[in-house]
Amino acid sequence: MLHPHAIPNLQSRFAVIASVLLIVVFSVFATLFELYYLLFIPVVLGLLLLVFFYTERSLLFFGALAPLSINFDDIGGGFGISLPTEPLYTLLFVFVIFRWLLHPEFDRAILLHPISICLLIYLCLLWISTLFSTMPMVSLKFTVARTCYIVLFYFCTLRIFSSFKNMHWFFKAFAFTTLLLVIFTLSKHAADGFVRSSSYSISWPFFPDHGMYAAAIAFAVSILVVYSFAGRHFRIPLLSSPAIIFLLTILVFGIVVSYTRATWLSLVIALLVFGALTLRLRFKLIALLLFLTALYGIVEQDRIMFDLEGNKQGSSDDIEGHVKSASNVSTDPSNMERINRWKCAARMVAERPWSGFGPGTYVFQYSPFQKSNELTLISTFRGDMGDAHSEYFSAMSEIGFPGLIAWLGVVLSTLAIGFRVYYAHQNGKVRYTVLIAMLGLITYYVHGFINNYSQYDKIAVPLWTFTAVIAALDIYHKEPLDNVRETQKK
């Protein structure tokens, strides 16, 4: 694990300065003699120095760059990559593992925390499922990447987030890079008149999908919403509120013209959860309502589908019409295809209920499970049009029922701890910090019902970092027991 207060000593600083001077000299030499390919060497050396001497700061900084990373779909061998972030995360992961092997250290408070236990179970199931995968190399790549993200942006940042300063440094940096991305994208979209047809690819090359783009923005929206009305708790001047609200408006407009119905819905649900927190509703009651709703949906699914088939509203540039099309499951190709993918996932888990087909394999394995009467205009047998379109169905089909239960355990334990921390604290700084993390996570948990993007750095970084914030607040910033009891009596 990383130590949150590791500061380079004087000798280390001299080493950094000397190394930087050598890099500068090397760069000048390469430029003067037009050996430009050699400039790659000082860049790599500089990154190695940064990671070695400032590991914690590098992790937060590289994480905040996720919205601005550029996607390359195929770099050979069917592999894609996001630059510069994925190589940086790989470098950090290797360094963290190497340092841990030299100095093994276990923090019981972290490892025994409920969220951490659920995540460790989830990771174990990922690796077990990989052993029984129908496509071992695909699953190994997927599982290594998922492990890397969770280790770096949950377990490592959890220690770093023992400091409020580090939490809010990341929040501000992530919001800033997201704003840069949205402003750039909106400037491109404005040239097309903000029409829906261009929204699907307007965020390229930063985002391959408009749904992922909107889901990432929603994390930043939660940050600026809280800063706009509770900034005083974080030493943000009151006079800054109008500027923050203006920036928030830009983000919300970016989501609106992304035409991503899932994110629109997720923001509404996040607002309802904020209302529940204000009313001090217990999480157990909310969880029970969700369970009963899901149970009703399963029992009455045929009647619900029959009722929904009466809606013929198609996707539209008109916002109201586009919202109504969200429940059109009879003529809207996007909705019909999503249901087709979900039914495939259900058939897949029925065939392999305990281990699934292997992490990351759905896109390659679902095709034989399609039925001719369920195919749509955008159905494909080549696995080139997305995967399960749901974090929950994806976990179920790829890791089996145990994987779905483990994923739900991560979601529910995180929300339960978030509610507990929010209710137990009188300290506004703690309460509004956990509110930022909870609202951001809820937007993705809701979005995750109809899309799955957590395998991409754009979503994985805020997803696991916001989760680490909630765990860190529960571990390192507990209220005195007397205060908690007094709060629970009210």
Of 318, 84, 63, 23, the C-alpha closest to 170 is: 63
Write out the two tokens for 56.
Answer: 């914690």
Check if the beta carbon of residue 98 is closer than 8 Å to that of residue 57: no
How far apart are the C-alpha atoms of 28 and 34, rounded to whole Å? 10
How far apart are the C-alpha atoms of 344 and 350, rounded to whole Å? 10
CA atoms within 13 A on the CB side of 56: 19
> What is the model's pLDDT at position 76?
58
Question: Which residues fall within 8 angstroms of residue 131, CB to CB, at 6 or more apart?
Answer: none
Write out the two tokens for 121.
Answer: 């179970």
> What is the model's pLDDT at position 485?
46
Question: Which residues fall within 8 angstroms of residue 334, CB to CB, at 6 or more apart?
Answer: 315, 378
How far apart are the C-alpha atoms of 389 and 448, rounded to whole Å? 8
> What is the model's pLDDT at position 82?
82
Of 434, 413, 416, the C-alpha closest to 476 is: 434
Distances (CA, A) of 3 to 6, 126, 170, 308, 472: 6, 27, 17, 53, 13
Phi, psi angles (nearest 5°) of residue 484: -65, -45
Check if the beta carbon of residue 437 is closer than 8 Å to that of residue 393: no
Q: Which of 24-38, 69-83, 153-167 shows the lowest per-residue confidence on average (mean pLDDT)?
A: 24-38
Residue 103 binned pLDDT confidence (cut-offs 50, 70, 90): confident
The answer, yes or no, to whether residue 318 has pLDDT greater than 60, is no
SS3 115: helix
Instruction: Summarize the confidence of residues 451-468 as an average pLDDT.
Output: 95
For helices 164-190 and 428-447, give the axis angle rounded to 10 degrees. Answer: 40
Write out the two tokens for 15.
Answer: 């080493």
Of 51, 9, 56, the C-alpha closest to 163 is: 56
Q: Which of 120-134, 317-331, 408-422 shows the lowest per-residue confidence on average (mean pLDDT)?
A: 317-331
How far apart are the C-alpha atoms of 21 and 24, rounded to whole Å? 5
How far apart are the C-alpha atoms of 215 and 264, rounded to whole Å? 9
Question: b vs e for 131-163, b when ≥16 Cβ sit within 10 Å of the residue's Cβ?
Answer: eebebeebbbebbbbbebbbbbbbbbbbbbbbb
Q: What is the pLDDT of residues 204-239, one digit of tens each?
A: 888 988 999 999 999 999 999 999 999 888 988 888
Instruction: Summarize the confidence of residues 21-34 as an average pLDDT.
Output: 62
Q: Which residue has the higher pLDDT, 333 or 97?
A: 97
Given the structure tokens 């990373």, which residue do they identify? 69
Instruction: Summarize the confidence of residues 271-297 as an average pLDDT.
Output: 89
Query: What percent of the chain has a predicted confidence (pLDDT) above 90?
Result: 53
Q: Which helix (H) or strand (E) holds 297?
A: helix 283-299
SS3 172: helix
How far apart are the C-alpha atoms of 72 and 208, rounded to whole Å? 9
**Residues composing the chain:** 490
SS3 313: coil
The answer, yes or no, to whether residue 330 has pLDDT greater than 90, is no
Residue 487 binned pLDDT confidence (cut-offs 50, 70, 90): very low
Phi, psi angles (nearest 5°) of residue 358: 115, 140
SS3 5: coil
> What is the model's pLDDT at position 484?
43
Instruction: Summarize the confidence of residues 192-212 as an average pLDDT.
Output: 87
Q: Which of 16-20, 130-134, 435-439 shows the lowest per-residue confidence on average (mean pLDDT)?
A: 16-20
* Burial of 119 (C-beta count, 10 Å sphere; 0-12/13-18/19+): buried
How far apart are the C-alpha atoms of 374 and 57, rounded to whole Å? 50
* Torsional sign, CA 379, 384, 386, 392: positive
Write out the two tokens for 386.
Answer: 């997305």
Rg over alpha carbons for the chain, rounded to the nearest Å, is 23
**Cα 484–chain centre separation:** 31
How far apart are the C-alpha atoms of 95 and 100, rounded to whole Å? 8
Q: What is the pLDDT of residues 106-139, one digit of tens each?
A: 788 999 999 999 999 999 999 999 999 999 999 9
